[in-house]
Amino acid sequence: MNMTRRPTILIVEDEKNTREGLDRALRRNYQTLLTDSAERALQVLDETPADIILSDLRLPGMDGLTLIKRALA
């Protein structure tokens, strides 16, 4: 039995079909977390660390670049 921890990817995408498609493509090899906004992504990161953030740049409210800057701070 392989006990290696799979890296966690936080997917931040407001378009439902794109978000779910990325989840289907990545969840076999990664643990995936899904959110539809940058604000919610920051809440998720407070509770669960992510190894990778995959974010849309154009999001309602806070944009993806601001999200990345705040997540790194």
Query: Which tens digits make up the pLDDT trace of 11-66?
Result: 999 999 999 999 999 999 999 999 999 999 999 999 999 999 999 999 999 999 99
Q: How would residue 3 be classed by pLDDT, with cut points 50, 70 and 90?
A: low
* Alpha carbons 17 and 32: distance in angstroms, whole number: 15
What local confidence, expressed as pLDDT, does residue 73 receive?
Answer: 87
What local confidence, expressed as pLDDT, does residue 27 receive?
Answer: 94
The alpha-helical segments, DSSP class H, found in the chain are 16-26, 38-47, 64-72
Q: How would residue 2 be classed by pLDDT, with cut points 50, 70 and 90?
A: low
Q: What pTM was computed for the model?
A: 0.90
According to DSSP, residue 7 is labeled: P
